[in-house]
Structure 1
């Protein structure tokens, strides 16, 4: 059971990381458009 919980936590962390990267990509694109 605990192993499954750990797996879920890892998945959540990965999702957060991906979202953060996507946000940074968007910001970069906006900055490029602004120049």
Structure 2
């Protein structure tokens, strides 16, 4: 499986959840968060 990393400026867990919801709709994507 190819791995792609993207840096998205987020300031809270709510921001992460918004990004994760969109990516999860695409399917086959694993999200990790470091705030």
Pick the TM interval, shorter chain: 0.3 to 0.5
Highest RCO, 1 vs 2 (Cα 8 Å, sep ≥ 6): 2
From the CA coordinates, give the structure whose radius of gyration is larger.
1
TM-score by length of 1: 0.38
| Structure 1 or 2: more helix by fraction | 1
